[in-house]
Structure 1
Protein backbone atom coordinates (compact mmCIF):
# COMPACT_ATOMS: atom_id res chain seq x y z
CA UNK A 1 0.00 0.00 0.00
CA UNK A 2 1.19 3.50 -0.80
CA UNK A 3 -1.35 5.34 1.31
CA UNK A 4 0.47 8.10 3.16
CA UNK A 5 -0.70 9.21 6.63
CA UNK A 6 -1.57 12.71 5.46
CA UNK A 7 -3.94 11.25 2.85
CA UNK A 8 -5.58 8.66 5.06
CA UNK A 9 -6.45 11.08 7.86
CA UNK A 10 -8.59 13.17 5.50
CA UNK A 11 -11.17 10.45 4.82
CA UNK A 12 -11.06 7.80 7.56
CA UNK A 13 -14.57 8.77 8.68
CA UNK A 14 -15.91 5.25 9.19
CA UNK A 15 -12.91 3.98 11.18
CA UNK A 16 -13.18 7.03 13.44
CA UNK A 17 -16.86 6.30 14.11
CA UNK A 18 -16.10 2.76 15.27
CA UNK A 19 -13.07 3.90 17.27
CA UNK A 20 -15.13 6.56 19.03
CA UNK A 21 -17.76 3.97 19.98
CA UNK A 22 -15.11 1.64 21.40
CA UNK A 23 -13.43 4.49 23.27
CA UNK A 24 -16.72 5.50 24.89
CA UNK A 25 -17.12 1.92 26.13
CA UNK A 26 -13.60 1.88 27.55
CA UNK A 27 -13.85 5.34 29.12
CA UNK A 28 -17.03 4.33 30.95
CA UNK A 29 -15.02 1.71 32.86
CA UNK A 30 -12.90 4.49 34.44
CA UNK A 31 -10.09 1.98 34.91
CA UNK A 32 -6.39 2.59 35.48
CA UNK A 33 -4.48 0.47 32.96
CA UNK A 34 -0.91 -0.60 33.64
CA UNK A 35 -0.24 -1.12 29.92
CA UNK A 36 -2.34 -0.26 26.87
CA UNK A 37 -1.23 -1.55 23.45
CA UNK A 38 -2.64 -0.07 20.25
CA UNK A 39 -2.16 -2.34 17.24
CA UNK A 40 -1.89 -0.26 14.06
CA UNK A 41 -1.93 3.42 15.07
CA UNK A 42 -1.97 4.60 11.44
CA UNK A 43 -1.63 8.39 11.40
CA UNK A 44 -1.74 8.44 15.21
CA UNK A 45 -4.88 10.55 15.58
CA UNK A 46 -6.99 7.86 17.24
CA UNK A 47 -4.02 6.67 19.26
CA UNK A 48 -3.40 10.09 20.79
CA UNK A 49 -7.11 10.47 21.54
CA UNK A 50 -7.21 7.08 23.27
CA UNK A 51 -4.06 7.85 25.27
CA UNK A 52 -5.58 11.11 26.46
CA UNK A 53 -8.91 9.48 27.30
CA UNK A 54 -7.77 6.45 29.30
CA UNK A 55 -5.92 6.47 32.59
CA UNK A 56 -2.76 4.45 32.09
CA UNK A 57 0.78 3.98 33.34
CA UNK A 58 2.23 3.01 29.95
CA UNK A 59 0.95 3.19 26.37
CA UNK A 60 2.62 1.39 23.44
CA UNK A 61 1.55 1.63 19.77
CA UNK A 62 2.79 -1.06 17.35
CA UNK A 63 2.78 -0.70 13.56
CA UNK A 64 4.52 -2.54 10.75
CA UNK A 65 4.78 0.50 8.47
CA UNK A 66 7.87 2.65 9.12
CA UNK A 67 6.24 5.67 7.40
CA UNK A 68 3.34 5.55 9.85
CA UNK A 69 5.61 5.16 12.88
CA UNK A 70 7.81 8.09 11.79
CA UNK A 71 4.75 10.24 11.12
CA UNK A 72 3.25 9.45 14.55
CA UNK A 73 6.49 10.32 16.31
CA UNK A 74 6.80 13.61 14.43
CA UNK A 75 3.19 14.53 15.19
CA UNK A 76 3.74 13.82 18.87
CA UNK A 77 6.82 15.99 19.09
CA UNK A 78 5.57 18.81 16.83
CA UNK A 79 1.93 19.16 17.86
CA UNK A 80 1.69 18.11 21.47
CA UNK A 81 3.03 19.90 24.51
CA UNK A 82 3.71 17.91 26.54
CA UNK A 83 4.03 14.91 24.19
CA UNK A 84 1.45 12.14 24.57
CA UNK A 85 3.92 9.73 26.16
CA UNK A 86 2.99 7.04 23.64
CA UNK A 87 5.86 4.70 22.76
CA UNK A 88 5.83 3.86 19.03
CA UNK A 89 7.29 0.47 18.11
CA UNK A 90 7.98 -0.77 14.58
CA UNK A 91 7.03 -4.44 14.27
CA UNK A 92 5.57 -6.67 11.56
CA UNK A 93 2.83 -8.62 13.34
CA UNK A 94 2.43 -11.09 10.47
CA UNK A 95 5.53 -12.86 11.82
CA UNK A 96 5.34 -15.64 14.45
CA UNK A 97 5.98 -14.90 18.12
CA UNK A 98 9.55 -16.26 18.06
CA UNK A 99 10.43 -13.58 15.47
CA UNK A 100 9.10 -10.64 17.46
CA UNK A 101 11.62 -7.96 18.39
CA UNK A 102 12.95 -7.67 21.91
CA UNK A 103 10.82 -4.55 22.38
CA UNK A 104 7.64 -6.53 21.74
CA UNK A 105 8.78 -9.70 23.49
CA UNK A 106 9.33 -7.77 26.72
CA UNK A 107 5.64 -6.82 26.74
CA UNK A 108 4.50 -10.44 27.09
CA UNK A 109 1.87 -10.96 29.77
CA UNK A 110 1.63 -7.26 30.65
CA UNK A 111 -1.17 -5.67 28.57
CA UNK A 112 -4.39 -4.88 30.43
CA UNK A 113 -5.85 -3.66 27.15
CA UNK A 114 -5.14 -4.31 23.48
CA UNK A 115 -6.98 -1.91 21.19
CA UNK A 116 -7.07 -2.16 17.41
CA UNK A 117 -9.18 -0.33 14.85
CA UNK A 118 -9.49 -1.37 11.17
CA UNK A 119 -6.11 -3.12 11.11
CA UNK A 120 -6.24 -6.80 12.10
CA UNK A 121 -7.87 -7.91 8.84
CA UNK A 122 -4.61 -7.07 7.00
CA UNK A 123 -2.82 -9.96 8.77
CA UNK A 124 -3.18 -13.20 6.74
CA UNK A 125 -2.76 -15.80 9.49
CA UNK A 126 -5.47 -15.07 12.06
CA UNK A 127 -4.50 -17.94 14.38
CA UNK A 128 -0.88 -16.78 14.50
CA UNK A 129 -1.96 -13.18 15.06
CA UNK A 130 -4.26 -14.13 17.94
CA UNK A 131 -1.44 -16.19 19.44
CA UNK A 132 0.67 -13.01 19.57
CA UNK A 133 -2.13 -10.90 21.05
CA UNK A 134 -2.92 -13.58 23.62
CA UNK A 135 0.73 -13.71 24.68
CA UNK A 136 0.76 -9.93 25.15
CA UNK A 137 -2.34 -9.87 27.35
CA UNK A 138 -1.96 -9.86 31.13
CA UNK A 139 -2.03 -13.35 32.60
CA UNK A 140 -3.94 -12.41 35.75
CA UNK A 141 -7.32 -12.50 33.99
CA UNK A 142 -7.55 -8.73 33.65
CA UNK A 143 -6.41 -8.39 30.04
CA UNK A 144 -8.91 -7.67 27.27
CA UNK A 145 -8.95 -7.18 23.51
CA UNK A 146 -11.19 -4.54 21.90
CA UNK A 147 -11.00 -4.58 18.10
CA UNK A 148 -12.94 -3.41 15.06
CA UNK A 149 -12.03 -4.99 11.73
CA UNK A 150 -13.29 -5.46 8.20
CA UNK A 151 -14.94 -8.59 6.87
CA UNK A 152 -13.52 -8.55 3.35
CA UNK A 153 -16.06 -8.68 0.49
CA UNK A 154 -16.32 -12.08 -1.19
CA UNK A 155 -15.28 -11.91 -4.86
CA UNK A 156 -16.29 -15.44 -5.84
CA UNK A 157 -19.37 -14.34 -7.81
CA UNK A 158 -17.66 -11.21 -9.21
CA UNK A 159 -14.96 -13.00 -11.16
CA UNK A 160 -15.74 -13.79 -14.80
CA UNK A 161 -14.08 -16.03 -17.36
CA UNK A 162 -13.22 -12.87 -19.31
CA UNK A 163 -10.16 -12.54 -17.08
CA UNK A 164 -8.61 -16.04 -17.03
CA UNK A 165 -5.97 -15.24 -14.42
CA UNK A 166 -8.61 -14.09 -11.94
CA UNK A 167 -10.96 -16.94 -12.82
CA UNK A 168 -8.31 -19.31 -11.51
CA UNK A 169 -8.40 -17.66 -8.07
CA UNK A 170 -12.12 -18.14 -7.33
CA UNK A 171 -11.42 -20.88 -4.80
CA UNK A 172 -9.27 -18.52 -2.71
CA UNK A 173 -11.95 -15.97 -1.76
CA UNK A 174 -13.80 -16.45 1.51
CA UNK A 175 -17.44 -15.78 2.30
CA UNK A 176 -18.34 -13.53 5.22
CA UNK A 177 -19.51 -16.57 7.20
CA UNK A 178 -16.21 -18.36 6.62
CA UNK A 179 -14.21 -15.33 7.73
CA UNK A 180 -16.31 -14.97 10.87
CA UNK A 181 -15.76 -18.64 11.64
CA UNK A 182 -12.00 -18.25 11.25
CA UNK A 183 -11.93 -15.26 13.62
CA UNK A 184 -14.04 -17.07 16.22
CA UNK A 185 -11.92 -20.21 16.04
CA UNK A 186 -8.68 -18.21 16.29
CA UNK A 187 -9.88 -16.40 19.41
CA UNK A 188 -11.00 -19.57 21.16
CA UNK A 189 -7.95 -21.62 20.11
CA UNK A 190 -5.68 -19.05 21.75
CA UNK A 191 -7.43 -19.06 25.10
CA UNK A 192 -9.56 -15.95 24.65
CA UNK A 193 -13.14 -15.83 25.90
CA UNK A 194 -15.45 -13.91 23.57
CA UNK A 195 -17.59 -11.26 25.26
CA UNK A 196 -18.83 -9.56 22.09
CA UNK A 197 -18.78 -10.70 18.48
CA UNK A 198 -20.95 -8.29 16.51
CA UNK A 199 -21.22 -7.57 12.78
CA UNK A 200 -22.46 -4.17 11.61
CA UNK A 201 -23.43 -3.36 8.02
CA UNK A 202 -21.97 0.10 7.38
CA UNK A 203 -21.69 2.65 4.61
CA UNK A 204 -18.56 4.69 3.90
CA UNK A 205 -19.03 7.65 1.56
CA UNK A 206 -15.93 8.84 -0.30
CA UNK A 207 -15.34 11.57 -2.82
CA UNK A 208 -13.99 10.65 -6.23
CA UNK A 209 -10.48 11.73 -5.27
CA UNK A 210 -10.63 9.79 -2.00
CA UNK A 211 -11.87 6.66 -3.75
CA UNK A 212 -9.02 6.75 -6.25
CA UNK A 213 -6.57 7.06 -3.34
CA UNK A 214 -8.29 4.28 -1.39
CA UNK A 215 -8.73 1.57 -4.05
CA UNK A 216 -5.18 0.19 -3.50
CA UNK A 217 -6.07 -0.39 0.16
CA UNK A 218 -9.25 -2.28 -0.74
CA UNK A 219 -7.26 -4.42 -3.16
CA UNK A 220 -4.55 -5.04 -0.55
CA UNK A 221 -7.12 -6.79 1.67
CA UNK A 222 -7.04 -9.72 -0.76
CA UNK A 223 -3.35 -10.26 -0.07
CA UNK A 224 -4.64 -12.19 2.96
CA UNK A 225 -6.31 -14.69 0.59
CA UNK A 226 -3.93 -14.64 -2.39
CA UNK A 227 -0.92 -15.24 -0.17
CA UNK A 228 1.68 -16.02 -2.86
CA UNK A 229 3.39 -12.60 -3.29
CA UNK A 230 4.22 -12.88 -7.00
CA UNK A 231 0.70 -14.07 -7.82
CA UNK A 232 -0.88 -11.21 -5.90
CA UNK A 233 1.35 -8.60 -7.53
CA UNK A 234 0.45 -9.94 -10.98
CA UNK A 235 -3.27 -9.67 -10.21
CA UNK A 236 -3.49 -6.32 -8.42
CA UNK A 237 -4.57 -4.22 -11.38
CA UNK A 238 -7.07 -6.84 -12.55
CA UNK A 239 -8.65 -6.99 -9.10
CA UNK A 240 -9.78 -3.35 -9.24
CA UNK A 241 -12.97 -4.06 -11.21
CA UNK A 242 -14.38 -6.93 -9.10
CA UNK A 243 -13.29 -5.30 -5.84
CA UNK A 244 -14.94 -1.97 -6.65
CA UNK A 245 -18.09 -3.78 -7.83
CA UNK A 246 -18.27 -5.89 -4.65
CA UNK A 247 -18.13 -2.87 -2.33
CA UNK A 248 -20.37 -0.53 -4.32
CA UNK A 249 -22.90 -3.12 -5.50
CA UNK A 250 -23.24 -5.42 -2.47
CA UNK A 251 -26.40 -7.29 -3.48
CA UNK A 252 -24.75 -8.43 -6.71
CA UNK A 253 -28.01 -8.86 -8.59
CA UNK A 254 -26.44 -7.33 -11.70
CA UNK A 255 -22.66 -7.62 -11.49
CA UNK A 256 -20.62 -5.01 -13.31
CA UNK A 257 -17.37 -6.64 -14.50
CA UNK A 258 -16.03 -3.23 -15.64
CA UNK A 259 -17.12 -1.25 -12.58
CA UNK A 260 -13.79 0.44 -11.83
CA UNK A 261 -12.95 1.09 -15.48
CA UNK A 262 -16.30 2.80 -16.00
CA UNK A 263 -15.94 4.82 -12.79
CA UNK A 264 -12.57 6.19 -13.91
CA UNK A 265 -13.95 7.04 -17.34
CA UNK A 266 -16.99 8.91 -16.02
CA UNK A 267 -15.83 12.18 -14.45
CA UNK A 268 -19.41 13.11 -13.56
CA UNK A 269 -19.38 10.58 -10.68
CA UNK A 270 -18.47 12.85 -7.77
CA UNK A 271 -18.65 10.35 -4.92
CA UNK A 272 -19.31 6.71 -4.09
CA UNK A 273 -20.70 4.71 -1.18
CA UNK A 274 -18.82 1.62 -0.04
CA UNK A 275 -20.89 -1.05 1.73
CA UNK A 276 -18.88 -2.79 4.43
CA UNK A 277 -19.34 -5.42 7.11
CA UNK A 278 -17.46 -4.49 10.28
CA UNK A 279 -16.75 -7.05 13.00
CA UNK A 280 -16.41 -5.71 16.54
CA UNK A 281 -14.72 -8.01 19.03
CA UNK A 282 -14.38 -7.84 22.79
CA UNK A 283 -12.55 -10.77 24.35
CA UNK A 284 -10.61 -11.47 27.52
CA UNK A 285 -7.97 -13.87 28.66
Structure 2
Protein backbone atom coordinates (compact mmCIF):
# COMPACT_ATOMS: atom_id res chain seq x y z
CA UNK A 1 0.00 0.00 0.00
CA UNK A 2 1.29 3.45 -0.88
CA UNK A 3 2.71 5.65 1.86
CA UNK A 4 0.81 8.84 1.10
CA UNK A 5 2.06 12.23 2.24
CA UNK A 6 -0.23 13.45 5.02
CA UNK A 7 0.73 17.07 4.40
CA UNK A 8 -0.01 16.82 0.68
CA UNK A 9 -3.28 15.06 1.39
CA UNK A 10 -4.36 17.80 3.79
CA UNK A 11 -3.63 20.37 1.12
CA UNK A 12 -5.84 18.81 -1.59
CA UNK A 13 -8.44 16.78 0.35
CA UNK A 14 -11.43 19.12 0.08
CA UNK A 15 -13.30 16.54 -2.02
CA UNK A 16 -12.80 13.69 0.45
CA UNK A 17 -13.71 15.89 3.40
CA UNK A 18 -16.84 17.22 1.75
CA UNK A 19 -18.16 13.79 0.81
CA UNK A 20 -17.36 12.35 4.24
CA UNK A 21 -18.97 15.36 5.95
CA UNK A 22 -22.25 14.52 4.23
CA UNK A 23 -22.12 11.06 5.76
CA UNK A 24 -21.09 12.43 9.16
CA UNK A 25 -24.14 14.68 9.13
CA UNK A 26 -26.25 11.51 9.24
CA UNK A 27 -24.11 9.77 11.85
CA UNK A 28 -26.08 9.10 15.02
CA UNK A 29 -24.14 8.38 18.22
CA UNK A 30 -25.14 8.50 21.86
CA UNK A 31 -21.77 9.92 22.86
CA UNK A 32 -20.48 6.92 24.76
CA UNK A 33 -19.31 4.67 21.93
CA UNK A 34 -15.84 3.38 21.32
CA UNK A 35 -15.14 4.03 17.63
CA UNK A 36 -12.44 2.86 15.24
CA UNK A 37 -11.70 4.99 12.16
CA UNK A 38 -10.02 2.86 9.48
CA UNK A 39 -8.03 4.80 6.90
CA UNK A 40 -8.03 7.91 9.07
CA UNK A 41 -5.70 9.82 6.76
CA UNK A 42 -4.62 13.15 8.22
CA UNK A 43 -6.97 12.77 11.19
CA UNK A 44 -9.35 15.60 10.31
CA UNK A 45 -12.53 13.52 10.35
CA UNK A 46 -11.36 11.48 13.33
CA UNK A 47 -11.26 14.69 15.36
CA UNK A 48 -14.72 15.61 14.06
CA UNK A 49 -16.11 12.34 15.40
CA UNK A 50 -14.22 12.67 18.70
CA UNK A 51 -16.08 15.91 19.35
CA UNK A 52 -19.32 13.89 19.36
CA UNK A 53 -18.10 11.38 21.95
CA UNK A 54 -18.00 13.15 25.33
CA UNK A 55 -18.15 9.81 27.13
CA UNK A 56 -16.60 7.58 24.46
CA UNK A 57 -13.30 7.14 22.70
CA UNK A 58 -11.97 6.99 19.14
CA UNK A 59 -8.89 5.43 17.59
CA UNK A 60 -7.71 6.30 14.08
CA UNK A 61 -5.59 3.85 12.08
CA UNK A 62 -3.96 4.13 8.69
CA UNK A 63 -1.50 1.93 6.81
CA UNK A 64 0.53 4.96 5.74
CA UNK A 65 3.17 6.00 8.32
CA UNK A 66 3.28 9.52 6.88
CA UNK A 67 -0.48 9.86 7.22
CA UNK A 68 -0.36 8.73 10.84
CA UNK A 69 2.51 11.12 11.57
CA UNK A 70 0.42 14.00 10.20
CA UNK A 71 -2.67 12.87 12.10
CA UNK A 72 -0.70 12.74 15.33
CA UNK A 73 0.08 16.43 14.95
CA UNK A 74 -3.38 17.45 13.73
CA UNK A 75 -4.66 18.78 17.04
CA UNK A 76 -4.84 18.21 20.75
CA UNK A 77 -6.59 15.10 21.98
CA UNK A 78 -9.65 15.39 24.19
CA UNK A 79 -10.81 12.81 26.75
CA UNK A 80 -12.45 10.98 23.84
CA UNK A 81 -9.18 10.91 21.91
CA UNK A 82 -8.37 10.52 19.19
CA UNK A 83 -5.26 8.45 19.35
CA UNK A 84 -3.62 7.31 16.12
CA UNK A 85 -1.73 4.20 15.13
CA UNK A 86 -0.21 2.73 12.00
CA UNK A 87 -2.14 -0.45 11.17
CA UNK A 88 -3.19 -2.47 8.15
CA UNK A 89 -6.96 -2.79 7.72
CA UNK A 90 -6.44 -6.49 6.98
CA UNK A 91 -4.63 -7.11 10.27
CA UNK A 92 -6.17 -4.89 12.91
CA UNK A 93 -4.34 -5.17 16.27
CA UNK A 94 -7.47 -5.09 18.43
CA UNK A 95 -9.88 -7.46 20.05
CA UNK A 96 -13.65 -6.92 20.32
CA UNK A 97 -13.20 -3.41 21.64
CA UNK A 98 -15.42 -1.18 19.50
CA UNK A 99 -19.08 -0.33 19.29
CA UNK A 100 -18.63 1.22 15.87
CA UNK A 101 -16.20 1.18 12.95
CA UNK A 102 -16.13 3.92 10.33
CA UNK A 103 -14.15 4.12 7.11
CA UNK A 104 -14.37 6.98 4.64
CA UNK A 105 -12.98 6.53 1.12
CA UNK A 106 -10.21 4.17 2.16
CA UNK A 107 -11.27 0.56 1.69
CA UNK A 108 -11.27 0.66 -2.12
CA UNK A 109 -7.47 0.80 -1.72
CA UNK A 110 -7.56 -2.59 0.02
CA UNK A 111 -7.52 -5.19 -2.74
CA UNK A 112 -8.07 -8.00 -0.23
CA UNK A 113 -11.34 -6.39 0.87
CA UNK A 114 -12.66 -9.60 2.40
CA UNK A 115 -9.77 -9.65 4.86
CA UNK A 116 -10.57 -6.07 5.89
CA UNK A 117 -14.27 -6.85 6.38
CA UNK A 118 -13.40 -9.94 8.42
CA UNK A 119 -11.14 -7.76 10.54
CA UNK A 120 -13.91 -5.23 11.06
CA UNK A 121 -16.28 -7.98 12.20
CA UNK A 122 -13.61 -9.24 14.60
CA UNK A 123 -13.13 -5.90 16.40
CA UNK A 124 -16.83 -5.09 16.80
CA UNK A 125 -18.64 -5.91 19.99
CA UNK A 126 -21.87 -7.94 19.66
CA UNK A 127 -24.42 -5.93 17.67
CA UNK A 128 -21.74 -3.36 16.87
CA UNK A 129 -22.12 -1.43 13.66
CA UNK A 130 -19.95 -0.23 10.81
CA UNK A 131 -20.36 2.70 8.46
CA UNK A 132 -18.35 2.32 5.27
CA UNK A 133 -17.99 4.76 2.42
CA UNK A 134 -15.96 3.82 -0.65
CA UNK A 135 -15.77 4.08 -4.41
CA UNK A 136 -17.54 1.22 -6.16
CA UNK A 137 -17.74 -0.13 -9.67
CA UNK A 138 -19.85 1.28 -12.47
CA UNK A 139 -20.09 1.37 -16.25
CA UNK A 140 -17.87 4.45 -16.61
CA UNK A 141 -14.06 4.12 -16.41
CA UNK A 142 -12.69 5.38 -13.09
CA UNK A 143 -9.67 7.60 -12.57
CA UNK A 144 -7.85 4.53 -11.22
CA UNK A 145 -8.67 2.35 -14.22
CA UNK A 146 -7.55 5.24 -16.43
CA UNK A 147 -4.23 5.28 -14.58
CA UNK A 148 -3.87 1.55 -15.25
CA UNK A 149 -4.57 2.08 -18.96
CA UNK A 150 -1.97 4.85 -19.15
CA UNK A 151 0.54 2.68 -17.27
CA UNK A 152 0.08 -0.03 -19.89
CA UNK A 153 0.87 2.40 -22.73
CA UNK A 154 4.07 2.29 -24.74
CA UNK A 155 5.77 5.15 -22.89
CA UNK A 156 5.19 3.77 -19.40
CA UNK A 157 4.78 -0.01 -19.64
CA UNK A 158 8.42 -0.83 -18.80
CA UNK A 159 7.97 0.81 -15.38
CA UNK A 160 4.85 -1.23 -14.63
CA UNK A 161 5.80 -4.80 -15.52
CA UNK A 162 3.77 -7.20 -13.34
CA UNK A 163 2.10 -4.26 -11.59
CA UNK A 164 -1.23 -5.36 -10.07
CA UNK A 165 -4.06 -2.89 -9.74
CA UNK A 166 -3.69 -1.30 -6.27
CA UNK A 167 -7.43 -0.73 -5.90
CA UNK A 168 -10.72 -2.60 -5.91
CA UNK A 169 -14.03 -1.12 -7.00
CA UNK A 170 -16.53 -3.79 -5.97
CA UNK A 171 -19.93 -4.32 -7.46
CA UNK A 172 -22.50 -3.35 -4.79
CA UNK A 173 -24.26 -6.71 -4.99
CA UNK A 174 -21.00 -8.58 -4.67
CA UNK A 175 -20.03 -6.42 -1.70
CA UNK A 176 -23.27 -7.33 0.08
CA UNK A 177 -22.52 -11.04 -0.34
CA UNK A 178 -18.87 -10.58 0.63
CA UNK A 179 -19.79 -8.71 3.81
CA UNK A 180 -22.22 -11.44 4.83
CA UNK A 181 -19.56 -14.12 4.30
CA UNK A 182 -17.23 -12.10 6.56
CA UNK A 183 -19.70 -11.90 9.45
CA UNK A 184 -21.35 -8.55 8.69
CA UNK A 185 -24.99 -7.93 7.75
CA UNK A 186 -25.68 -5.05 5.37
CA UNK A 187 -28.62 -3.08 6.74
CA UNK A 188 -28.55 -0.11 4.35
CA UNK A 189 -26.65 0.40 1.11
CA UNK A 190 -26.83 3.36 -1.26
CA UNK A 191 -24.90 4.15 -4.43
CA UNK A 192 -24.70 7.65 -5.89
CA UNK A 193 -23.18 8.88 -9.13
CA UNK A 194 -21.14 11.84 -7.91
CA UNK A 195 -19.11 14.59 -9.52
CA UNK A 196 -16.71 17.21 -8.23
CA UNK A 197 -15.57 20.24 -10.19
CA UNK A 198 -12.00 21.17 -9.31
CA UNK A 199 -12.40 24.37 -11.30
CA UNK A 200 -9.34 23.92 -13.47
CA UNK A 201 -7.08 21.29 -14.98
CA UNK A 202 -4.29 22.54 -12.73
CA UNK A 203 -6.27 21.86 -9.53
CA UNK A 204 -7.39 18.46 -10.77
CA UNK A 205 -3.79 17.62 -11.69
CA UNK A 206 -2.58 18.61 -8.20
CA UNK A 207 -5.21 16.36 -6.59
CA UNK A 208 -4.38 13.49 -8.95
CA UNK A 209 -0.67 13.73 -8.19
CA UNK A 210 -1.38 13.10 -4.49
CA UNK A 211 -3.95 10.35 -5.07
CA UNK A 212 -1.89 8.39 -7.60
CA UNK A 213 1.13 7.73 -5.40
CA UNK A 214 0.72 3.99 -5.96
CA UNK A 215 1.63 4.58 -9.59
CA UNK A 216 4.09 7.45 -9.38
CA UNK A 217 6.15 5.75 -6.65
CA UNK A 218 7.32 3.37 -9.39
CA UNK A 219 8.61 6.20 -11.56
CA UNK A 220 11.74 8.38 -11.42
CA UNK A 221 10.88 11.74 -9.93
CA UNK A 222 11.66 13.39 -13.26
CA UNK A 223 8.88 11.37 -14.94
CA UNK A 224 6.11 11.64 -12.38
CA UNK A 225 4.57 14.91 -13.55
CA UNK A 226 4.49 13.68 -17.14
CA UNK A 227 2.66 10.50 -16.12
CA UNK A 228 0.03 12.50 -14.22
CA UNK A 229 -0.39 14.84 -17.21
CA UNK A 230 -0.97 11.82 -19.49
CA UNK A 231 -3.50 10.38 -17.05
CA UNK A 232 -5.40 13.65 -16.68
CA UNK A 233 -5.53 14.02 -20.47
CA UNK A 234 -6.79 10.45 -20.88
CA UNK A 235 -9.46 10.97 -18.21
CA UNK A 236 -10.90 14.21 -19.57
CA UNK A 237 -13.08 12.51 -22.24
CA UNK A 238 -14.48 10.26 -19.47
CA UNK A 239 -15.48 13.19 -17.27
CA UNK A 240 -16.72 15.34 -20.12
CA UNK A 241 -14.89 18.57 -19.41
CA UNK A 242 -11.57 19.80 -17.97
CA UNK A 243 -11.26 19.75 -14.20
CA UNK A 244 -14.31 17.55 -13.60
CA UNK A 245 -14.08 14.32 -11.59
CA UNK A 246 -16.83 11.70 -11.59
CA UNK A 247 -17.14 8.65 -9.36
CA UNK A 248 -19.58 6.11 -7.98
CA UNK A 249 -19.94 6.52 -4.20
CA UNK A 250 -21.11 3.58 -2.11
CA UNK A 251 -22.31 4.00 1.45
CA UNK A 252 -23.10 0.94 3.56
CA UNK A 253 -24.33 0.50 7.12
CA UNK A 254 -23.43 -2.92 8.50
CA UNK A 255 -24.11 -4.80 11.69
CA UNK A 256 -22.01 -7.48 13.39
Say yes or no: TM over 0.5: yes
User: What secondary structure is seen at the aligned counterpart in 2 of 1:37?
Assistant: strand
**How far has the Cα of 1:277 moved from its partner?**
1.2
> Do the aligned residues in 1 keep the contact of 2:35 with 2:101 (CA within 8 Å)?
yes
Q: Where do residues 49-198 of structure 1 align in structure 2 (5 Å cutoff)?
A: 49-77=48-76, 85-94=81-90, 97=91, 100=92, 104-105=93-94, 108-138=95-125, 140-141=126-127, 143-151=128-136, 153=142, 154-155=145-146, 165=157, 179-198=171-190
- Going from structure 1 to structure 2, the CA distance change for 1:19 and 1:172 (only over 3 Å counts) comes to closer
Alpha-carbon distance between aligned partners in 2 of 1:87 and 1:174, rounded to the nearest angstrom: 27
Alpha-carbon distance between aligned partners in 2 of 1:280 and 1:215, rounded to the nearest angstrom: 23
User: What secondary structure is seen at the aligned counterpart in 2 of 1:115?
Assistant: strand
> Do the aligned residues in 2 keep the contact of 1:248 with 1:275 (CA within 8 Å)?
no
User: What secondary structure is seen at the aligned counterpart in 1 of 2:74?
Assistant: helix
Query: 2:35 matched to 1:36?
Result: yes
Could you report, residue by residue, the CA deviation over 1:193-248 in whole angstroms, capped at 9, with x for unpaired residues?
A: 1122222111123344443333245435789xxxxxxxx937x9697477435643
Query: 2:204 matched to 1:219?
Result: no
**How far has the Cα of 1:123 moved from its partner?**
0.9
Of structures 1 and 2, the larger Rg is shown by: 1
- Which among 189, 192, 197 is matched to residue 200 of structure 1? 192
Alpha-carbon distance between aligned partners in 2 of 1:65 and 1:10, rounded to the nearest angstrom: 17
User: What secondary structure is seen at the aligned counterpart in 2 of 1:85?
Assistant: coil
More helix by share: 1
**How far has the Cα of 1:184 moved from its partner?**
2.6
**How far has the Cα of 1:47 moved from its partner?**
1.0
Q: Unaligned regions of 5+ residues in structure 1, if any?
A: 224-231, 253-268
User: What secondary structure is seen at the aligned counterpart in 1 of 2:189?
Assistant: strand
- Going from structure 1 to structure 2, the CA distance change for 1:109 and 1:13 (only over 3 Å counts) comes to same
Query: What residue in structure 2 maps to residue 24 of structure 1?
Result: 25
> Do the aligned residues in 2 keep the contact of 1:112 with 1:137 (CA within 8 Å)?
yes
> Do the aligned residues in 1 keep the contact of 2:12 with 2:206 (CA within 8 Å)?
no
What is the Cα-based RMSD across aligned positions, in Å? 3.8
User: What secondary structure is seen at the aligned counterpart in 2 of 1:233?
Assistant: coil
- Going from structure 1 to structure 2, the CA distance change for 1:20 and 1:49 (only over 3 Å counts) comes to same
User: What secondary structure is seen at the aligned counterpart in 2 of 1:75?
Assistant: coil
> Do the aligned residues in 1 keep the contact of 2:54 with 2:80 (CA within 8 Å)?
no
